[in-house]
């Protein structure tokens, strides 16, 4: 009799309006606790962006020209912000592939929880991590000479676009992680996607310095569009076009890859 009475309790709990939100926050918290228990993950994910800042600022900065009246460091840092979250999105693929390989998905399946909470919780945890890393990059940027040419509100909006783009990229790499189902393979598979998007973009060099055949790709890809939006909001220039394009890219990425990731997750269960 008691067993019969306990079963409706689970069913009712699943129908609560905020049950999915509660489950998502629980999974997000679980993934964030992972960073605190293994702080090396967070430390090494911040070392690489700092190295990029120092390398491009002091090693290549003297050779890269053609940025007009804007100092190269001010041209560079919006690209570094976007590059940081793009490379950070790789953690989504590795994390999901690790959970799948360890059998954690089966554990989640046995619990009375929202199925969407696993994917959304993972991407939200990576969004929080990106927030921390981007704030660190801003501080490092100011330390090496970066300055805002617009105003604080516009710059803050630019950073929101950086985080939005990082969240969108997390869904791409969630798809990668669920497809390969192995953390080592996920890391290897992510780089061929990352490298052309980041290095064949306007993140580090002006578009006109590239060969003509490469300019068409560099001009019309999501990293360049987001960098140009962030750059316009931090150093000035036309903003409506780049911002609109960045929003469209972020929306399109989530609209395409979130359903694919959900479908792959359901197959994995």
pLDDT in tens, 126-178: 899 899 899 999 999 999 989 999 999 999 999 999 999 999 999 999 999 88
Enter the tokens of residue 94.
């590795």
Residues of the chain under the 50 pLDDT cut? 1-15, 66
Q: Which residue reads 């003297």 in tokens?
A: 62
Enter the tokens of residue 188.
């290897």
What's residue 17's pLDDT? 53
What's residue 250's pLDDT? 94
Per-residue b/e over 204-226, b at no fewer than 16 CB within 10 Å?
bbeeeebeeeeeeebeebbbbbb
DSSP-assigned states of every residue in 44-98: HHHHHHHHHHHIIIIIITTT----TTS-HHHHHHHHHHHHHHHHHTHHHHHHHHH
| Contact partners, residue 196, CB within 8 Å, separation at least 6 | 217
What's residue 65's pLDDT? 59
pTM: 0.85
Enter the tokens of residue 154.
């516009």
HSE of 219 in the Cβ direction (CA atoms, 13 Å)?
A: 11
Q: Give the total residue count for the chain.
A: 269
What's residue 184's pLDDT? 85
> Do 144 and 73 contact (CB within 8 A), yes or no?
yes
């Amino acid at each position: 009799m008691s067993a019969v009475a306990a079963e409706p309790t689970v069913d009712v709990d699943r129908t609560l309006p905020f049950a999915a939100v509660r489950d998502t926050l629980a999974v997000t918290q679980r993934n964030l606790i992972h960073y605190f228990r293994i702080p090396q993950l967070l430390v090494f994910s911040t070392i690489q962006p700092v190295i990029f800042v120092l390398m491009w600022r002091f090693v290549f900065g003297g050779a890269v020209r053609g940025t007009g009246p804007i100092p190269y460091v001010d041209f560079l840092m919006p690209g570094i912000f976007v590059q940081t979250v793009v490379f950070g999105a790789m953690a989504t693929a590795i994390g999901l592939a690790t959970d799948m390989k360890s059998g954690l998905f089966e554990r989640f399946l046995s619990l009375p929880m929202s199925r969407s909470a696993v994917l959304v919780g993972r991407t939200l945890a990576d969004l929080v991590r990106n927030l921390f890393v981007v704030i660190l990059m801003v501080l490092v940027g100011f330390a090496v000479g970066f300055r805002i040419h617009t105003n604080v509100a516009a710059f803050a909006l630019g950073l929101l676009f950086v985080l939005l783009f990082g969240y969108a990229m997390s869904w791409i790499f969630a798809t990668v992680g669920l497809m390969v189902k192995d953390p080592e393979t996920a890391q290897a598979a992510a780089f061929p996607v990352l490298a052309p998007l980041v290095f064949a973009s306007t993140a580090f060099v002006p578009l006109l310095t590239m060969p003509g055949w490469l300019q068409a790709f560099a001009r019309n890809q999501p990293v360049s569009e987001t960098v140009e939006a962030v750059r316009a909001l931090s150093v000035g220039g036309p903003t409506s076009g780049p911002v609109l394009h960045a929003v469209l890219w972020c929306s399109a990425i989530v609209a395409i890859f979130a359903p694919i990731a959900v479908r792959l997750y359901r197959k994995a269960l």
